Structures are given as C-alpha cells and as structure tokens.
Structure 1
Amino acid sequence: MKTLKFAVLAALLCPFWALAQFKISGTVSGNGTNALSGANVRVKGKNYTTATNANGAYEFANLPAGNYTVVVSYVGFGSQEKSIDLNANQTLNFSLQQLSFVADEVVVSATRAGKKDAFTFKNLTKADLDKVNQGQDLPYLLNQTPSVVVTSDAGAGVGYTGIRIRGSDATRINVTLNGIPLNDAESQGSFFINLPDLASSVDNIQIQRGVGTSTNGAGAFGASLNIQTTTRRDSAYAELNNTYGSYDTWRNTVSAGTGLINNKFSFDARLSRIKSDGYMDRASSNLKSFFVTGAYYGKNDILRANVFSGTEKTYQAWNGVPEEKLLTDRTFNEFTYDNQTDNYQQDHYQLFYTRNLGRQLVANAALHYTYGRGYYEEFKANRTLADYGLGNVVVGSTTITKTDLVRRLWLDNDFYGGTYSLAYTPQSNLNFTLGGAYNRYEGEHFDEVIWAQYANYNGAASMRHRYNDNDAFKSDFNIFGRASYQLDQLNIFADLQYRNVFYSYYGLDANGNPGQQSARLEFFNPKFGVTYNLTDRSNVYASVAVGNKEPNRRDFTDSNVNTRPKHETLTDIEFGYRSQQSNFNVGANGFAMLYKNQLINTGQINDVGGFTRQNVPNSYRLGVELDARWQILKNFAWGATATLSESKIKKFTEYVYDNVSGFPAKTFDYNNTNIAYSPNIILSSDLNYTIHGIGFGLISKYVGKQFLDNTNTDSRSLDAFFVNDLRFTYNTPLLGIKNVGLNFFINNVFNVKYESNGYTFPDMNGGVIDRYNYYYPQATRNFLLSLNLKF
C-alpha cells in the first residue's frame, strides 16, 4: 500500500517536474576570499533550501522560469539576498561580510580548557547531542565519552538517572550551566530530572576529567561538565521532535527562534513533555519543561537573559531489587502505595552581560536565581507515634503506640548569586583571566504527616502535622587567576583559585545538644601545566592540579561539631598526547588521582548514632584513557574509547553493629581494596555508515566488574556487562520542509540482562551477620522511534 501511494504521488508530480528546466548555482564566500561551508541558502517565498558544500558551492536544479530572490545566511556574517529573472541557467555568487559581534562562547570561556591547555577534556557539539537525543536524561547522551558509566533507576534512561566518571559519582562531578553552578549546595549532586529535555536547549558541552581548570561551584573530584545553552542562530527556524518507544515512552518537543533581527536581537524558545512507564514496575515519569532566551548583540557587547524551568512527578524506584528477586522478578518494585512519588519543580533565571573593552580586554558578568520546591510522599508501616511528635492513642483499655502513616518530606530552597570574568590578551602569545563568583543558598527542610491510621495530635494541628522543621544556609565565594604563555612550541599554564565556604545548618553541638551549627572552610587550589606542540595538529601535555572538597549535608547533620569528617583533598596528575588529522583524531591520556582523607562509607556509627562517611587517609586512582575517531571511508567512521584503571584504598576498617546491643561487635580490616563502583575497564565503540541520507550505527559499551562496597568481595559486586544498540537514521528535505529526520534506536539489541548499579549493607543479630544486596536492573531489548521536522 505504501509503495502504491508513493507511485501515485510520483505520477501526480511528474507534470510539474517536466516543466522544471533551469538551475541557479554559485558559491558563498566570507569577506570575498574564504569559502563558507554549511551556509544556509534559500529561495525567498518558496520551499527551496539547501546548504553550501565544503567548497562553498550550492545549486538549485529543475526550477521553472520566473522571478526568484535567493537569500544566504551564515553564523557570524551578515545575510545577503539577490533577485534574478530566471529564463536560463544562471550563476549567483555571494560574498558575506563578517559581523563584528562578540561571540556567545565568551560567557563560558573562563571555566573551559582550550586546545593548548594541559588538561584532558571532550567537547560535544549540538550536532553530537542531537544525534543521540531521544528524550533520555542528559547522562545517557554522554555514555560514549571516556570513563563514563550511566545508570537508570527506572531502567530505560527516563526518570532518575546517575552518572559516574572515573568511578566518581554525581556529587563529585562539578556541573555548570553557562558558568552557573548546578550542583545542589547541600547534597552536592546534580539532578538532571529537574530539567527534563535540557539537551534540546544545549549548544555544546565540555567534559573535563579530573580536577580540570578552575570553575564555579562544588569541587571537581571526578570531572566537570560545563554546559552552554542556546547561542545565536542567525536564521529563523522552527523544529518539532516527537518520540515514541517501549514502556509507553513519549517525548514531544517544539522549539523555535527568530534568528537575528536587525542584526541585533534574537529570541529562542522550547517546550517539552516526556512521559514513560519505565522498565521497572510502577517506575513512571511525568516530566515537563520550557526554555526561553533572548539576546541583544551590539558591536562590542552582548546582553542575554535565560528563563527555564522543569517539573517532575516520578514514582519511586529508589530501593532497587533485592538480590533474591533478580532471577524471578527483575522488574520488582517494593513500593505499592498509589502515590509513592517524588514531586519537584525548579525555576532558573540567568542574566549575562559581556562587553569588549578593547581589542585586548573582554569582561563578562552574570546574575542568577534558582527557586526549587517540592516533596516526596511515602507510606510508612508500623511507625512509632512518638518519633513523629504524635501522642499515643488510647482505645478503651488499649494504648496504641504505633501506626501506619503517609508522610511528605519537603524541600523549599533559593539559590542566587553572581559570577564574573575578565580576559586580557596583551599580545598574541600571552593571556590572563581573572574570574570568580559569590553564591548563596537558603534551604528549608520540613516534614509532614498527611495521614495516619491512628493519631493523637495533642491539641496541635490535625492533618499535615509538621514534625520536623529546620533551615540551612550556605555561601560559596571563589576567585581565580589564570595565565597562559606561548614560547615557540611550548605553552605554559598556571591557574590559582581561592575558595571560601560557610555553612549553617541544624545539628548537634559538641555536647550533643540540637541547635543551629556552622562551619567555615577555606581552600587553595593551584594548577600548573605545560603543552608542547609537536606539529600544528598534535601536542603532548602534562599537568598537576589540587582540588579540595567540603563534606556534604549528611556528613554535617549526622555528627556533632567535633566528630564531623574533615574535608577531602585530591592531587591530580595528568599527561597525554593529542592529534587531529584529516581523517583520524586521537587522544591518549594517563592520570594519577591521589586522595587524602577521601570520604567513604565504612559502616561506622558515630557518637550520635549517624552512619556518616568516614575519612580514609590514603587512596588513589591510576589509569590510562583513549579517545579516537577514524574516518575509514568517505561514508564509514569508527569512534572508540577505552579506560584501563586501578582504584585503591590503602587501608580501612569496616564496622558491623549488632541490632540487639548496638555495639560494633565485628570489625574487619582491609588493605589495598578496590574503591566501590570503580571498574578497571570501560570500553565503547560507535560504528557509523551513511549513504544518501540513510545512516546505520552500531553502538557498543563494555563495563567491567564493580564492587558494591570497599571489601573486594565477589558476592557483593556488579557483574561486567556488554551492551549493544542499533541506530537507524534517515534525513531528507521534503515538500518545503528543511529536514525530515527519522530515527529508530534498538537499545540492548541482544537482550542482555544486566545491572548497572546497586548497594549493599550488613545486618547482625545476636552475633550472626547477614549481608543484603540490592540491584538496579536495566531494560532488556527496547526501542525508541522519533520524527524530527526542521523548518
């Protein structure tokens, strides 16, 4: 039937094709000299559009005679149009003049590494992200980059997801949006679920592994993700993205932009909805977001405002699957209460101003405000009434001390501040950057009982009984200076940062009395590196960088002021080789990450009964990373990454407490054990073949064995897994639509059953120890099908 429809359509169009007999062709150059590849060329008022090739050439064929106006545009150049009376084949050449605009990239340049800097990093463009963006959470779009392991609570990449880089989790990965910190000030994690479909409004991402260059926000102990959102697009556009997939997964996204208006203004907007039932039972997600940005471009300055927001309602799958259930019910979810959900909304407001103060000095400043609020609701069985500030209930002669109840744990917070940078380039081989930020966080934590089977409110409020209420405040100030000097083939780099953190929270004083407590920490983070250019396309580099990181909220609140853990210190040594050839790019990097007082879970309870993390004096990560891409043939390319590493804790003690006595009846000493969640090998491969707009891809990922704790015990580990995905794409202009894109992903094509995350804990009763393992199974074979329309 489809073949018949196409045949009928072709037959109907044949008379029109027969009348088309002329063509318009030509070239597009910049400033009259350089060919502009990828320039947008369209016929005004018609559904004809194309782009220039590598030589700046374009062509419109089979046009009927008539009057035409051809419009050409290219980012960073003024658009141009020419009109002709077409009655024969005609050549129409264009020479665009470059605009003297300040580039949007200046906004994030202060916190990024350059190609000559002695740090290891990976740049991802909008095209790289669009190729894999089917509505899954942002960590899944980074899965093919070096040293990355991703996981999903719901099993299919929608909802709560996690990312580890070099074995370090999200609390140790610094994330900034346009230079503004995204990490939560207290937990220090980044929750991309709060900004669903963020990738659709991202222009580029730089991933720095290790300590990296100075940035704003929490310390980077595994990596930094520096994300830049929508930048200037000179031509107006509109785009529709719709995805449907397994587990009733839907994504609907509409975005549009005005292009550059009067060479001064631009406006862009996006609206998204993502819904999924999830692979796990009752692991549903209902996510919504929007992104709006407007900019003014002067001759020497840029003013940009971003407003974006995300809301999420996610059924909890946080607890994972008990080990004994894996073989019989991999999608098991122990939560059965109808509204066992997480509900949160986060609004972001950002204002940026960049000014070119001369040929040698560029200033950048930003103000930001983030408002987050929400709760998670959960059913708790057989809870002691007194623990919730409720009185016992007397029914006749029976005193009831326990009850089933439903509670909500709320968080209402404000995060605001400013960032700045000054870039000074007195000569072509020397540049300086001065940057920094001051940010404030105010968080209100409160918990409510919203239903109880039995309750005595002691004359206080009835339902929505608030039984816990405390506030937190945190300020974070940093200033850094950076210099780079090119001496012949040698580049010398230095970066010095001072950071001051003040944290006020509700906790325990030295005597165990509750009240508002505080802590102030000061850090000095120096970084030095050298790069030697072997050729204009290859170099070798080496660097040493120091990073310091404060404990998180639980480390403070679950201890008293004398027993809370110390801050962590990391000395990171990086060295490597980079080469970019016409058909082959490669980066090889070695690293040594040496930790002092790294915080890990040992099972030890402190003197106030909290399971806080404990400092271990010495631990390290050593490894090598490879990131390569080979254009084997014109239409056939292969990208691959590899990480071989060793992550060790030199010495630590595990504590196991008896539930009856409450004392540490057992302790176990360990030497040179693997750090939990740190596989020794991570491999990825991306094979791509394209022809006539049709693309085929085989994407593979291998992750080695991971331990769930720091004891090197095989019975408490994640098995290695090897997963393959297939990708089919088709892109073509059609009926006046600039591009129609079809994408079909088959994930886990070989139906592998594997777990990418988990946890373990001991339990002892009467001297007998039991160990309990929980796992997060990932989806078996599943698909995502999307339709993309660009206008």
Structure 2
Amino acid sequence: MPANHIRILCSSAALAAIIAGAWAAPAAAQQVAANVGRGTGEIETVVVSGTAFNPEDAPAKASLDTMEPQTIITQSYIQDSVADTADYTTILAIAPGMTGFSTNGPGLSDGDVKNTMRGLPDGSYGMTYDGIPFGDTNGPSHHSESYFPGTIIGSIDVDRGPGNAGNLGAATFGGSINMLSEDLRSESYLLASGTYGSWNTKSIDLKGQTGDLDYAGTTTRAYFNLQNVDSDGYLTYQSTSRQNATLKVENEFAPGWTLTVFGTYNNLMQHLNDNNGVTPAQIVAYGKNYALQKTNPNAGNYFGYNRVRKHTDMDYLRLQGEILPGFTLDDTLYTYDYRNKTMTATNPEQTAADIAKGVTEGNGTIVNGVKYANDVPGYSKLNAYRVYGNILRLNHDFDFGWLTGQVRLGVWWEGQATERSRFDLDITKCSQLNCDIWHPNPAQVGDSTVAAKKKAVALPQGYAEYLEHTSWNQYEPFIELELHPMDELTLTPGLKYVNWEHTSNAVVQPKASPLGPYKGSFTTTRALPFMMANYKIEPSWSVYAQYAQGIYVPDIKAFEQKTALTVFPKAETTTNYQLGTVYYADQFTFDADIYYIGVNNNYVFQDCSLAPIFGLKGDNCAVNTGTATYRGIEAEGTYAFAGALDGLAAFLNGSLGTAKTNGRWIKEAPNWTMAGGLIYKTGLFKISLIDKIVGQQYSDNANTRFYKLGAYNVMDLKGSVTLGNMELGLGIYNLLNSRSLASVGITDSSPIGGTSVNDFANRPNSLDQYYFQPERSFQVSLKAHM
C-alpha cells in the first residue's frame, strides 16, 4: 500500500475513534443562549436554545435557523488553528466538501490549488466581503493573496446553496463564501504580533479597536489593521511580499441609525511565472519544489524574467436605520479595484532534452526584424478593473395575529470598467535593459515572432495578442417573504430578477481569427424563484428544505471566439434541491444534509491552447458540455468534553458526492472529503490538531485513468501558551510531511510517457505541469495583548 494511503488511513482512523468514543457520552439540557460574532454582511447568528453548548467550541457548525447547508467558521478558529500567514483558501478547507491549499506554503501564493465546493471550481460559487460580492470581471474567479488576508477576516459563513432572493453575486448557484470583517466592540484593545518561520517567512501585524468613543451625543467605534508579510516561499525563488492596511469606523449618529465607513488596501509583489507548474523532467532533475532559478538566463524560468505587481482595494459606506416603526433601511455604496501588471517569460516548461541544453520550450525572438535564436520570449500583461455599485435593502415587520413575518425587498446595481492587454516582448533584452514593467519600450524589446504567425497585431504600444476594454451594467431587484404561520415554522419564498449587460470594445479581440478590433454587447435576463423552509422539532433541533434556481451569467469570454458572434453563449442555469437538519445538545452539535443540483449549459474550464479552442496558452477557456448533475451528502459535528477533560473538543466532518457531466466526472471534483481534529483551550494553553483529507479526482474532463489522482491529506498542529499579556505560539503545518500530487495542468494533447501521471520519472518528454503539497513547515509567533 502506498505510504500516503497508510498515512491517511492511520490519521483518519485515530481521529474517528476518538470522536466516536466522545459522542457516546450522554448530554443533559438547560436554558442558555450563545452566538457567534456578526459583521456587516448579516451572517446568521447561532442561537442555541435549550442547551449549554458553547458554539465557540465548534470550529465549524451550522445555525439552527439556516435554510440551506451552512458552515460557520469563527474568528477563534482563524486565530488559533491556522497559520498566521493564512489566506481564505487555507481557512476554508475545514468546511465539508471544500478543498484548497497554497502550493508555496500557507497563504504564500496567489495562484494556489484554488478552493472547490462540492467539486464546483472557483468561479462557480460566489464570494462576498461584508456582504459585497467581488471577483474578477473577466470571469468571477478570485485571487486569495490579493484580497483580505486572514488577519482581517472576523468570521466566514459558507453557504452551500444559492441562498435566498437577497443573496447576491454573479455565480451564486453553487453557494456563497461570505467573509466578514471583525465586529466592532465596546471595549478597546491593541494586538501586536510577529511571526517567523520556514523559508524565511516573516509577518508583522498590528491591529486594534478603540471601543466606544462618545462625543457630541454620538458613539463611534473604530478598527484598524496593518500587516506586512515577506517570504522566500517553499517553491524555489518564488518569493512574495504583501502589505495590508484596513480601517473600519462605525458611528451611531442618531438613535437607531448607524453609518459605517470601511477601506482596505493591499499591495502584492511576487516573483512568479504566469504559466507556472513543474514538468516531469524538472521534478526528476530539480525536485518537486522547483519553480524559478537564478543561474541560467537562457531559460524562461529565470528569476529576473518573472515579476508580478498587484494593487487592490475595497471601500464602502453603509447606512442602517429604522425609517418608521417596523420599517428598516440598509444601504451600501461600494467600490473595489484590482490592478495586475505581470512581466513574464512565455514558457517555463522543460523536457529532459531542454534541461540538457539549458533552455526552455520555444526559445527564439525577432526584434526589429533581427532573429535572436537564444533569447527568451515573454510578454507584459495588464488586467485592471474598477467596480462600483450599490445594494439597497428595505425590510418591514408585520403581525396579523395568525401570521407574523417580514417583507424584504431591494435592488443591487453594479457597473465596472476593465482594461486587459498582452504584448509580446523579448524578455532577455528587457532584463538586460532593466525595462519598465509598466511601460516596456516596443522599439527595444518588442518581439514579432507571434505576430508573424498572425496571432498578434503590431500597435504603437507593441505586438498585441489582445487589447480590450470591457464593461458591464447590471441590476437585480429582489423580494422575499419570511412567514411564520406557527412559532416553529419559517417559510421564505422569494423572487430575483437578473438583468446583466456586457459590453466589449476591443482594439485587438482575444482569440479572434484573424485578429482585429471588435465592438459588441449582449444582455442576460432571467427571473429566479426561491422557496425555503425551516421547522423547529425542538428548540435545539431543526430541519430545513430548499428549492432554488441559480445562474452563471456568461462573462466576457463570450466575446472571445474565433469568429465574430451574433448569437452569444447561453447562461449556465441550475435547479437546486436540498434537505438538512441541525441539532444541538449540552455537549455536542451535529448537522447533515443531502443535495441535488441539476445544471443546464454546464461550462468547464481548460487551458485555451487545448482542443477545441486552440487559442493562447495560459488563458482559461470555457467549454459547454451540456448538462451536469451534482449530488451528495454532507455532515459535521463537534463534541465538547466536560469534567477532567473540560476545554477539549473533538470534531469530525465529511462529504460524499458525485459531480458528473455526460456520464463523466468533472475534473478536479473529489468524490469525498473528510476533516477531523482535536482542540484544547484553557486559560493558559491553546492547542489544535486539524487533519483534512481530499479524496480521489480526475485532472481531465475525459476521465482517462492516466490522469486520476489519489487522495491526500494535510495535518496541521498549532499551539500557544499565554503568560500575562504575552502569547508565545508554535505552528507545524503539513505535520506528516505529505508531498502528494494535488493538481495537474494538462499541456500534452495526449499522455506522453509513463504508466500514469504519477510516474513522472518515465515522462521525460511531457510538458504537463504538476502542483504538489509543500513540505512540512514551522512558524513561531509572539503576540502582545494590550
């Protein structure tokens, strides 16, 4: 049996035995209420009625009032159980059906093996921060190191379903990841922390709150965070440096009226190839952690050729108050920005023959008509957008005696402007001339090799593979009713209308043949009904059901076809059915669900260089596979010990499901996941042991046995001791040093060499790109609480 299978079986069996034994203990009941922190995104509050269970003991759990499968991840878990450098990709892996980790070390890469939810890839579910949907404008995917480091995440509500009519986003059919900023408190605090760890990783963070500040009859509270993270990274010379500054101010300027001002700003600099991933020959020659090198400028993976700079921000104003008795207003005006400027070599891949010659694939450029056979081709890439919008919510409580409830209606409006470009250049000459990453001089470094193949266009700025300006203007009015025909029953019907207009004005349209300008627009419209119910069998036991329709609005890739379109791709639509239950007792909590998602016009994503697109390598293209179905079961629970073991909690969760289209598994959709662990907290010590296991999956849409990946696990151990106002911590991440293959970027048109994708030693001519778990790492931290 392979070593990683033994490791997974041993770790999961030990945790299951501990937890199963713990759940055999009895529980009594009493009246107590508890909740988790809530922020401006209106995360559901966990109210435990009739039990003594403290929700903070459970790292992941659901609300008794939920109407769809849900996992709430609290701030205590984020602070005490994940790395100080973690991003949301790392944090989210604890939830049932979720996967994802950073290949460069915890929170140290913007590429990552991205999160999936029930086998749905990033971009097939929504993400919000304080209730504001965000994502790329060329497709609603996300960049985990560019936005919202773990230090500014107060809690996360993982909703595995379309939600209600007021749940907003471009792709909420798969679910929503709702991140919330830290609650503002009445008491002040200041927390200074410093972390040092493997790969010369350094993090310094200063955060605090003012508490209540009373002035001129108003009450103001404020929160701030300042963070700097630097690391050489686990992958060779893939260094990263990021800074975050966040400010949140809340002012109660009149009785029942609050104005919140928020801003977060991020700066990220990386040495990273835009088409990163290690080939089989590179693994054999240099190891699993190979990425860049500093000794050979004749190769595209040379450190000096690959640079990324990103600037992001999100800002909002939120007004909340009671207009009239029973009538409330909640209005958020927001904007967010993303600017990615990349200078990169086109091809970092190497076969065994390339390594022997000291080159990478595709060397050779043409500058001002002169051929340079040994120079390395590259490109400069820009992806910059500014999104702006407003979310208005109006609520009215009613009481007809026999029927009570609330009417909720509102509208979401949003617009944006995007510029994307890619210009070919001689990266060797660019490095020699120390050219400006923002404005390289095409007369000195412009490479016409691709233009000679009619896949780029000569412009004054250089040889453009694409240069496009896109925008959208969309609005979504919604209405829903929360009905209580009896105290134990809540019914919530709702309706949302989507009207989303996309516009493209391209100087050079991506993927067109022949390349050239393009102007066009299309509008997607659809009405989406919802129906949800929650019934309290007992005050501490509820069951729920959901019917909902969802949509993935076609993005700007709809314009990017070989020929000009007169009929645009259809929207991806879904019908979701879900049933579940949530139960709390004095010492444990448990929730479970079953789900079915039927998909029409199912889009899967692949590298654009593959059939049937045959476009630019490194771009992501959508292929419509027709229909798809996702179905499965999920469960999670936590047991809190008492008596001599007071302070110890054991938890276990898991999922088992299928994700298929045309009878085949959708790629990168594991058929099962499991997580378990032990958490111990007293006044002096905090210790957590968390193990996440991800089941088998395919790396291709064809489900070839060659590209089937085995299960892998990630076990993390983190602990701290508090001495007065000081807290000394130690974290060991990937404790068992699992180095499994977690993902493969398929470049070969068909498998080349070896008996399977794991047989990389016998694949010297393959250009497939591999992504492994990073090796075991350590972080020590010192925190001063003031």
Counterpart of 1:546 in structure 2 is 549
Per-residue displacement from partner, 1:156-177 (whole Å, max 9, x unpaired)?
Answer: 4312232111111221121111
2:600 is paired with a residue whose SS is: strand
- Choose which of 383, 393, 410 in structure 2 pairs with 1:421: 393
Asked if the contact 2:70/2:160 (under 8 Å) is kept, the reply is: yes
* 2:627 corresponds to: 618
Query: What is the CA RMSD across the aligned residues, in angstroms?
Result: 3.3
- Secondary structure of 1:605's counterpart equals coil
Aligned to 1:753: 739
Matched, 1:288 2:243: yes
Unaligned runs of 5+ in 2: 1-30, 47-61, 293-300, 348-361, 431-440, 447-460, 753-762
Q: Residues 651-730 of structure 1: matches in 2 within 5 Å?
A: 672-730=663-721
Q: Does 1:575 align with 2:579?
A: yes
Distance 1:675 1:406 in 2: 32
The change in CA–CA distance for 1:518 and 1:369 in structure 2 (over 3 A counts) is same
Cα distance, 1:495 vs structure 2: 2.1
State the shift of 1:546 in Å.
0.8
Counterpart pick for 1:643 among 641, 655, 658: 655
Q: Residues 110, 743 of structure 1: CA spacing in aligned structure 2 closer, same or farther, 3 A cutoff?
A: closer
Q: Deviations over 1:76-98 (max 9, x none)?
A: xxxxxxxxxxxxxxxxxxxxxxx
The alpha-carbon deviation at position 292 of structure 1 amounts to 0.9
Matches within 5 A, 1:93-104: none
Shift of 1:422: 0.9
How far off is 1:372 after superposition?
2.6
Match of 1:780, as an amino acid?
Answer: E
TM-score, normalised via structure 2 length? 0.77
Shift of 1:325: 4.2
Report sequence identity in percent: 19
Q: How big is the shift at 1:722?
A: 2.6
Note if contact 2:40-2:131 (Cα within 8 Å) is conserved in structure 1: no
1:311 partner amino acid: N
Q: Distance in 1 between matches of 2:237 and 2:680?
A: 38
Any idea what SS the aligned residue of 2:304 has? coil
Q: 1:578 to 1:753 in 2, by over 3 A?
A: same
Partner of 1:663: none
1:35 to 1:109, Cα distance in 2 relative to 1, 3 A? closer
Inter-partner Cα distance in structure 2 for 1:728 and 1:580:
27
Question: Which residue, 207, 230, 241 being the options, matches 1:275?
Answer: 230
User: Offset of 1:104 from its aligned partner?
Assistant: 7.4
What is aligned with 1:496? 495
Q: Contact (CA 8 Å) 1:107, 1:354: kept in 2 or not?
A: no
Residue 470 of structure 1 pairs with residue 468 of structure 2: yes
What is the rounded CA distance, in whole Å, between the counterparts of 1:337 and 1:613 in structure 2?
A: 31
1:748: how far off?
Answer: 1.7
Which of the pair is proportionally richer in helix? Answer: 2
Change (3 A) 1:487 1:776: same
1:21 is matched with none
Relative distance call for 1:37 and 1:452 in structure 2 (3 A) is: closer
Q: After TM superposition, give the deviation of residue 572 of structure 1 in Å.
A: 1.1
Partners of 1:431 and 1:644 lie apart in 2 by 36
1:176 counterpart residue number: 128
* 1:706 Cα deviation from its structure 2 partner: 1.1
Taking the aligned partners of 1:403 and 1:200, their CA distance within structure 2 comes to 43
Distance 1:114 1:479, change over 3 A: farther
- Give the partner amino acid of 2:391: T
Partner of 1:129: helix, strand, or coil?
Answer: helix
After superposition, the C-alpha distances for 1:288-336 in whole angstroms (9 at most, x for unaligned) are 1100121211311111111110011112155222234445611122522
Secondary structure (helix, strand or coil) at the match of 1:195 reads: coil
1:165 has 2:117 as partner: yes
Aligned equivalent of 1:217:
169
**Is 1:775 aligned to residue 778 of structure 2?**
no
State the Cα distance separating 1:405 from its structure 2 match: 4.3
Q: Is the 8 A contact 2:81 2:688 kept in 1?
A: no
1:549 deviates by 0.7
Structure 1 counterpart of 2:328, which letter? V
Is the counterpart of residue 330 in structure 1 residue 288 in structure 2? yes
Question: 2:535–2:543: 8 Å Cα contact kept in structure 1?
Answer: yes
In structure 2, what residue type is equivalent to 1:466?
G
Equivalent in the alignment of 1:743: 729
What displacement does 1:518 show? 1.5
Distance in 2, matches of 1:433 and 1:259, equals 32
| 1:632 aligned onto 2:588 | no
Contact 2:311–2:338 under 8 Å retained in 1:
yes
Assess, with a 3 A threshold, how the Cα gap between structure 1 residues 37 and 684 changes in structure 2: closer, same or farther: closer
Q: What is the distance in 1 between the residues matched to 2:318 and 2:518?
A: 39
Q: Which amino acid aligns with 1:596?
A: N
In 1: Cα distance, 2:576 partner to 2:313 partner: 35
Q: Which moved more, 1:691-700 or 1:774-783?
A: 691-700
Which residue among 175, 190, 193 is the counterpart of 2:145?
A: 193
Q: Taking structure 1 as reference, are residues 607 and 246 closer, same or farther at Cα in structure 2, changes over 3 Å only?
A: closer
Give the drift of 1:235.
1.5
State how far apart, in whole Å, the 1-side matches of 2:138 and 2:572 are: 16
Aligned mates of 1:220, 1:37 — CA distance in 2? 29
C-alpha displacement at 1:35, in angstroms? 11
Distance 1:537 1:710 in 2: 44
CA positional deviation for 1:461: 5.5
| Cα deviation code 1:16-44 (max 9, x no counterpart) | xxxxxxxxxxxxxxxxxx99999xxxxxx
| Structure 1 residues 771 and 525: CA distance shift in structure 2, 3 A | farther
Structure 2 CA distance for aligned equivalents of residues 156 and 123 of structure 1: 21
Choose the corresponding residue for 1:605, options 594, 608, 612.
612
Residue 402 of structure 1 and its aligned partner are, at CA, apart by 9.5
Aligned partner of 2:24 in structure 1 is none
CA distance in 2, matches of 1:601, 1:186: 13
Distance 1:155 1:760, change over 3 A: farther
1:528-582, CA deviations, whole angstroms, 9 ceiling, x for partnerless residues?
1222211011111111111111233334313431575322111111101111222
SS in 2 for 1:715: helix
> Contact 2:64–2:542 at 8 Å: present in 1 too?
no
The gaps in structure 1 that reach 5 residues or longer are 1-33, 39-74, 76-102, 394-398, 651-671
Distance 1:109 1:680 in 2: 29
Q: Describe the superposition over 1:220-248 as per-residue Cα deviations: whole angstroms up to 9, x where unpaired.
A: 24320112213321112111121111111
Q: For residue 299 of structure 1, what is the aligned residue in structure 2?
A: 255
Paired amino acid for 1:224: S
Q: 1:450–1:115: structure 2 CA closer, same or farther, 3 Å change rule?
A: same
2:267 paired with 1:311:
yes
Residue identity matched to 2:394: L
The 3 A distance-change label for structure 1 pair 521 and 362 is: same
Deviation at 1:606, TM superposition (A): 4.8
The alpha-carbon deviation at position 703 of structure 1 amounts to 1.0
Query: Is the aligned partner of 1:128 residue 2:100?
Result: no
Q: Give the conservation status (yes or no) of the 8 Å contact 1:510–1:561.
A: no
CA–CA distance in structure 1, aligned partners of residues 682 and 382 of structure 2: 53
Over 3 Å counting, the alpha-carbon distance change for 1:35 and 1:618 in structure 2 is closer
Describe the SS at the equivalent of 2:172.
coil
Contact preservation (8 Å) 1:155, 1:777: no
Q: Which has the higher contact order (CA 8 A, sep 6+)?
A: 2
Contact 1:156–1:778 (CA under 8 A) maintained in structure 2: no
Give the corresponding residue for 1:345: 311
Q: SS in structure 1 opposite 2:559?
A: helix
* 501-510 or 147-156: bigger deviation: 501-510
Q: How many residues align?
A: 656
| Separation in 2, partners of 1:188, 1:225 | 13
Q: Which residue of 2 aligns with 1:118?
A: 67
Q: Any idea what SS the aligned residue of 1:321 has?
A: coil
AA paired with 1:333? A
Q: CA separation in 2, counterparts of 1:36 and 1:577?
A: 19
